[in-house]
Amino acid sequence: MIAGSAGNVVVWVVWFVAAFACLGSALAVVSFANPFFSALALIGNLASLAVLYLLLNAEFVAAAQVLVYAGAVMVMFLFVVAYLGGEADAPWAGGPSWQVVGAIAAAAAILVEIVVVIGVAAGDGLSNEGDISSAFGSPAEIGRLFLTDHLLAFEVTSIVLLAAAVGGVILGHHSRRVDDPAVGGRG
Amino acid sequence: MLGPDITWYLVVSAILFSVGALGVLLRRSPLIVLLSVEIMLNGANLALIAFSRLHGESDGQVFAITVMAVAASEVVVGLGLIVAMSRRNLALDVDRLNSLRG
Amino acid sequence: MTSVYASWITLLSPLAAAVAITLGGTAISRRAAGFVATTGTSVAFAAAVVAFIDILGEDPERRSHLDTAWTWLGAGKFDVGLAILVDPLSIFMMLVVSGVGSLIVGYSIGYMDGDDEERRYFAYMALFVFSMLLLVQGGNLLLLLAGWGLVGLSSYLLIGFHHERPNAIAAAKKAFIMNAFGDATFALALFLLIAHTGSVSFGALEEVTGAGSTVTNLIALGLLGGAVAKSAQLPLHTWLPDAMEGPTPVSALIHAATMVTAGVYLIVRLHSIFEAADVVQDFAAILGAATLLVAGLIALVQTDIKRVIAYSTMSQIGYMFVGVGLGAYANGMFHLLTHAFFKALLFLAAGVIIHALAGEQDMRRMGGLRRLMPFTYWCFLIGSLALVGIPPFAGFFSKDSILAASLDRGTLGAILVVVGLAGTFLTGAYTFRMLYLVFHGSRSAYATEHHLDDGHEGPLTMLVPVGALAVLSVIGGWIQFAPFWTPVSDFLAPVAEPLAEASNWMEVVASVAAVALGLAGILVAWAIYDARRWRVPRWTAVRRALEEKLYWDRLYDRIFYSPAVWLARATLRWFERPVIAGSAVGIGVGARESGEIASEVQTGYLRAYALALAAGLAILVLVFVSVR
């Protein structure tokens, strides 16, 4: 274990706080009946994750996480929750019993396997952290990588975003056949 | 590195992933399911960032940003679907959406 | 040399006629097809005569020529050529086959006139003549077997010629199947021969006699099986009476004059192996004797005129088998010749009657035709007298010489002579019974009603061959009168040395006894059927047995046919329907049902799909981690 300087202790404390916040909010997302509360919990989750990223020297990603995820995506979620009215549904009700059992079993199995891999199978591979330069995680570095090594991913991502935008427009389009003005909808 | 080892971050990521999976499998509201998917994606992102730190290469972070972009797009489409469903007065219950039965 | 070339022409001209008729199709008229076939067989006869004359000019010891056209089958040391053998025996048979054949084919022009499928008939007849010639001219056993099979085929085709009649079809099948049995034993014998000598030439038969008695006996037995089937001897005789379903000229040619005599020819041609397996040869003689007796008895109760003649054929071939079985080869062949004349005559004359009575064959509906059809009556009478063996007609010379020769053969011969003499009595009885029933007495109502009276008894094409055969039946026997002059025996002796030489007193005794018994038979028939002095003996049990043909058909039905049908039905029920049809249906049903079961996975239940994804992921990770 690490012992030592005060900085280390601070880091540990921050880590614990952020980790528990992260996991707690994740559980909250999954358990709350009211979708509004779930969305809010997710915002908390994203924020704590940003803290964890900072602890991992990924500053730019942390910033992007807060700006994009917590900022844009969750706002969209909240808009939709507001639009839908957020009726509370009984979260765990319904469905056959084997679904519940199977779900818990599958999730537990995945968790156990990953932990086993991390703890046992990975061996020494996880203990030697590399030295990092000051440019690690900086926007300049990320930008450089995007425009040189991972240019293809960059471009494809832009196409994916375009597709999503077009899809959103189409899905949101009022089609005259289905939406009878006399019946109206919520629109 | 200060603070916990990479393994701790990976454990957190694993738990996040499992919790998200539970949510996808056990909730009936499509909105919550979408949120759970977001949790799973974030868990994966955390793992990516952790490994990036381990190897001292920034490629993991580049990957994580790409994942974020894709997640955003997916959320757009997913929410669009949910809105369209509610406009057609379909029940927002995953169990009731079974017309692909065959 | 000339005889060889002429022999090739003999062989091939009927084939050319058959091919011409087949290829000509409807382009040639029906009557023209008949003339083509007749020309083909007549050319064959002319060529045979030429060959005969040519070979007479040669030294008796050097009269055997084997001419190979080309090598037909060659496999290592095994070599079979497309070869014909020109020697006295084959020329003898060629003359009989083509001569009598051309007369009968010519007769058919009149008999089959008006039939829709006349062309097919003549093509088949020409094919048959070719096949029979191939059989007798074949230069090795394989070609002989080829001819053997082809005559069986032609017989099948011609018996079943009127294919719209179920009886005809059944009879054709019966004939073919029984002959196939004989062909199988023949082929097995050939296999043994090839196994032991590696060759199918006639010479190989001489070689194999050294291979030990079992092999020799088996080969001879197999060959005998084929001969018995083809010649309708006991126990493979039941097909011949049924074969009368075919047109009358067919019965005359195939089932009297030529095909059924192929067995006799075979024994003479392959006499060396039969002599080596003397048990088998004696067995052949015994079978012949049994057949002649049985056939004669059954003929006494037949009501169909053609069937009487058919049983008579069976009986007379029995005589030939006795002859060659005892080693009197030339005598047997001579009887074959005379039998061809008078038996064909009887059949063709019967055909004239049948033709005149619009197809009626039942003798009980005939009667008193003597004044209505005098020419036919006299020809029939000549044929009958020749058959019974009354001098000076043909049968006397040939049949009695067989009986005489068998007197030379010890105990077995003596027994067979007794049987043969009994057969002579029976021959007289049934033949003249037939004659009296058909021609004597008062004219039957049927005859009066149906007789077509257009001035003559039948078309010229029918009456001329009948007349020709009648003449031959009168003079044909005179070519050999043992012991005074024996050109036939001398001609055939180089091919097959006889094992039995009748002395003069044997000839006399045999002749006198045979003629006496024949006359006695005629007398009995006259007393019962013509003068009506005696009545037909009641003897119901015997009568029933004879009418059932001594239960042979029933026996075969019980042994072979019923089990085969049972097996077929059982297979249909237990295997064909459930397994084969069932699997065909079952595959479809099974596919559909498994599809229905499989489609139950598609519940439409989204969370189940998601669960499947998660579970799959868990399993895959496990696999990858553990397997490494």
CA torsion sign, C93 to C94 to C97 to C99? negative
Q: What distance in Å separates residue C615's CA from the closest CA in chain A?
A: 5
pLDDT range class, residue C449, cuts 50, 70, 90: low
Q: How far apart are CA C564 and CA C543, in angstroms?
A: 30
Q: HEC profile for chain B?
A: CCCCCHHHHHHHHHHHHHHHHHHHHHCCCHHHHHHHHHHHHHHHHHHHHHHHHHHCCCHHHHHHHHHHHHHHHHHHHHHHHHHHHHHCCCCCCHHHCCCCCC
Residue C558 has pLDDT above 90, yes or no: no
Chain C residue with CA closest to B100: the answer is C604
Q: CB–CB of C614 and A107 under 8 A?
A: yes
More confident residue, A180 or C223: C223
CB atoms within 10 A of CB C98: 29
What are the chain C neighbours of B28 within 8 Å (beta carbons)? 607
Q: How far apart are CA B38 and CA B102, in angstroms?
A: 30
pLDDT range class, residue C413, cuts 50, 70, 90: confident
* Domain chopping of chain C, boundaries: 1-139, 140-547, 554-627
The interface pTM score, or ipTM, of the predicted complex is 0.91
Q: What distance in Å separates residue B53's CA from the closest CA in chain C?
A: 24
SS3 C1: coil
What are the chain B neighbours of C606 within 8 Å (beta carbons)? 94-95, 97-98
Residue B40 has pLDDT above 50, yes or no: yes
| Mutation target among A89, A101, A110, A115 for the C interface, most CBs of C within 10 A | A110
Residue A91 has pLDDT above 60, yes or no: no
C65-75/C78-86 β-pairing: antiparallel
What are the chain C neighbours of A109 within 8 Å (beta carbons)? 615, 618, 622
HSE-CB of C409 using CA atoms within 13 angstroms: 27
Q: How far apart are CA A118 and CA A122, in angstroms?
A: 5
* Stated pTM of the model: 0.69
pLDDT range class, residue B48, cuts 50, 70, 90: very high
Chain C residue with CA closest to B96: the answer is C605
Identify residue C552 by its one-letter amino acid code.
Answer: W
B58 falls within a domain = yes
| Whole-number pLDDT of residue C447 | 65
Closest to C124 measured CA to CA, from C242, C259, C317: C259
pLDDT range class, residue C626, cuts 50, 70, 90: confident
Q: Which tokens sit at C380?
A: 């029939």
Residue C45 has pLDDT above 90, yes or no: yes
Q: Could you list the residue range(s) of the whole structural domain that residue B43 is in?
A: 7-90
Residue A148 has pLDDT above 90, yes or no: yes
More confident residue, C492 or A89: C492
| Whole-number pLDDT of residue A184 | 44
Burial class (CB in 10 A: 0-12, 13-18, 19+), C437: buried
Compare CB distances from A121 to C615, C618, C625 and report the shortest one's residue.
C625
Q: Which chains touch A (3 or more CB pairs under 8 A)?
A: B, C
What CATH number does the domain containing B27 carry? 1.10.287.3510
| Mutation target among B12, B17, B58 for the A interface, most CBs of A within 10 A | B58
What are the chain A neighbours of B5 within 8 Å (beta carbons)? 126-127
Domain count, chain B: 1
Q: How far apart are CA A22 and CA A35, in angstroms?
A: 18
B100 falls within a domain = no
CB atoms within 10 A of CB A47: 19
| Mutation target among C599, C602, C607, C613 for the B interface, most CBs of B within 10 A | C607
pLDDT range class, residue C429, cuts 50, 70, 90: very high
Q: CB–CB of A113 and C625 under 8 A?
A: yes
B60 falls within a domain = yes
Instruction: Give chain A's domains with CATH numbers.
Output: 1-91 (1.20.120.1200)
Question: Tokens 């090795």 map to which residue?
Answer: C140
C305-C465-C436 Cα angle (round to 5):
30
What are the chain C neighbours of B100 within 8 Å (beta carbons)? 602, 604
**Residues of chain C above pLDDT 70, percent:** 97
Question: Tokens 């109502």 map to which residue?
Answer: C445
B97 falls within a domain = no
Q: How far apart are CA C392 and CA A37, in angstroms?
A: 135
Flag whether residue B87 sits within 8 Å of chain C, measured between CB atoms.
no
B99 falls within a domain = no
| Whole-number pLDDT of residue C452 | 61
Residue A183 has pLDDT above 50, yes or no: no
Q: Which tokens sit at B71?
A: 């997640």
Which region, left, alpha or beta, applies to residue A94 given φ > 0 means left and ψ of -120 to 50 means alpha?
left
Chain A residue with CA closest to B44: the answer is A49
pLDDT range class, residue C32, cuts 50, 70, 90: confident
CB atoms within 10 A of CB A162: 11
Flag whether residue B82 sits within 8 Å of chain C, measured between CB atoms.
no
Which helix (H) or strand (E) segment is C82 a member of? strand C78-86
